[in-house]
Amino acid sequence: MAENRGDQNGEFSFGKSLSIGRRGLAKIQTDKKALSSSSEEVCHDDSGTPVRAQTLDELHSLQRKRSTPSTPIRGVPQAGGVFATISEEDRHKQQLQSISASLASLTRETGPKLVKGDPERKTGSEIKTTHFSAPTIAISDSGLKFTHVLYNLSPAELYEQAIKYEKGSFITSSGALATLSGAKTGRAPRDKRVVKDETTEDDLWWGKGSPNIEMDEHTFLVNRERAVDYLNSLDKVFVNDQFLNWDPENRIKVRIVSARAYHSLFMHNMCIRPTPEELEDFGTPDFTIYNAGQFPCNRYTHYMTSSTSVDLNLARREMVILGTQYAGEMKKGLFGVMHYLMPKRQILSLHSGCNMGKDGDVALFFGLSGTGKTTLSTDHNRYLIGDDEHCWGENGVSNIEGGCYAKCIDLSREKEPDIWNAIKFGAVLENVVFDEHTREVDYSDKSVTENTRAAYPIEYIPNAKIPCYGPHPKNVILLACDAFGVLPPVSKLSLAQTMYHFISGYTALVAGTEEGVKEPRATFSACFGAAFIMMHPTKYATMLAEKMQKHGASGWLVNTGWSGGRYGSGSRIKLAYTRKIIDAIHSGSLLKANCTKTEVFGLEIPTEIEGVPSEILDPINTWSDKNAYKETLLHLSGLFKKNFEVFLNYKVGKDGNLTDEIVAAGPVF
């Protein structure tokens, strides 16, 4: 077609060579000779070079570019000090051999036959198999098939798998993947078992008050075989090779084998994600999870009390999940493993939040549900090291995880902007309810469960410190929501008092915290995470005190609960006041404050804090009925004493009994 031109007067007009059609429009020239007579009047073909594909399948294969990292193999130097580069095929073979060994039955010398890639994409270039010798027993049907391995898939790939194959998976309006965890919407602590053997019998905490319910080695192997056989029977399994602990000297390699894309993406977010170079040299994992949660355990198996069983074998470094698809079992199962492995290295594992000031001052926050741990540890003026699980070793404090697992019930942009904004592409939303058309999530809807959750990488939080570690903590803050209204807003703790209140792990449940609760109810969770600890609480408390003393850390008890009376008559301490208290702890000004000592609990309380009314610092001042205050105080102290009885006269390995000093640090009538 001829180009358009402007005349001498600047008027726009078509070239004269074009004839005029209806309504004054130029006719389209279709005469080949006329079109070829002048290059100016030819409509040029700008479609480019024809695509290099003969079929749609070939065209789709061109769309995906394959990443091919080439990290040198350690320990195999070539001439001139140059390391040999492993081929892609050999790397696939090594990875599949390692995974096959993980999935091996206990009655066979070799593992299953594996293929790398999605079974739906059966292109020749994606079939990479390992070499297998003949089984030592009669071959079964499962031995004749290949199991496809989907290895360390990206979030985008896992989205595709979930949307296509897992019913109940949707993309929400914010870009997060909404999933369902099935019948179980929370952990099943009564179905958790730990193998009791010669080592764990002495090392672990057993008996009254302990979260560890024993099982024998044989029963574990029966459940392991059941899980492995189920996973091997599937057309495909998801395999994640990742790390725990940001301290590079004490990093743990973990492998998660699962049947759901939801589980794979969840662990992709919650564990530390390896670089392509680290993945090539991953080798044999230090710990393996077999998640066969869609398949039940056999109720007739010894120690089984339901169709759910979460089994931990510390000697074999393995965990088996049957009968529950709740992803939190994997996260907390690994946390329990770290509670065993790290103290063996003289590293303290902690159920806490952790942040760091711009001057490098680190604070640890301990607290049960409803105490404000997440809110207070998330401070835009400080860097977030982690929100839930940490280690305190010789090099300082480090986050165990690579992500955050936040509660979503009643979540709002105004109250928790960081969590709200983190729920985007790559994040997993568990059991939430959303609009079927707009896919907007209603975080107030409890139709599925009140325990709605979001799992996302920690780098989704703007002020996260990457890598997630810092120097030794300066302050250890124990949070309690005292609904009885008798604990002061803040107390300075001695080392013995810190140990006592750390072991106690106190808070009080009120209406809205747990279904059916109308009156204040004291609850205690040893080390602020009794469900996850493996050893006796005094072991962790002793390590905490030793590290605090060695590195000069201060201990604080902060009450975020009620003042002026118990729940129902008093009022909740204002968040603004609590933030002023936390700011004073961070700045160090609270260490210089004048203090008085309370009755019964013997807590040192400051007489003045900037921005906080002095009259609320001593709780007795806020109660109009002083006798009611004293009665409530004695009632709570009695609950503390009763709870602590389970820890008396207990020997932790060779450590001996609890010292009289720790017991005396509790309430005294």
Which residues are designated catalytic? 187, 332, 351, 369, 373-374, 388, 453
DSSP helix, strand, coil percent of the chain (3-state; round to 5): 30, 25, 45
Nearest to 532 by CA among 47, 152, 204, 238: 204
Nearest to 195 by CA among 309, 283, 356, 285: 309
Whether the CA torsion 33, 36, 38, 41 is positive or negative: it is: positive
In b/e form, how buried is each residue of 510-538, taking b as 16+ CB within 10 angstroms? beebeeebeebbbbbbbbbbbebbbbbbb
Whether the CA torsion 563, 566, 570, 574 is positive or negative: it is: positive
The one-character DSSP state at 462 is: T
| Distance from C-alpha of 35 to C-alpha of 494, rounded to nearest angstrom | 95
The Cβ of residue 19 has, within 10 Å, a number of other Cβ atoms equal to 10
Give Cβ neighbours of residue 248 (< 8 Å, ≥ 6 apart): none
Nearest to 322 by CA among 335, 341, 303: 303
Can you tell me which residue has the tokens 């390699």? 253
| Distance from C-alpha of 391 to C-alpha of 398, rounded to nearest angstrom | 5
| Distance from C-alpha of 417 to C-alpha of 412, rounded to nearest angstrom | 7
Strands 113-116 and 146-151: parallel
Rounded to 10 degrees, what is the CA torsion of 638, 639, 644, 645? 70
Q: Which residue spans within 101-161 are E strands per DSSP?
A: 113-116, 146-151
Whether the CA torsion 366, 368, 371, 372 is positive or negative: it is: positive
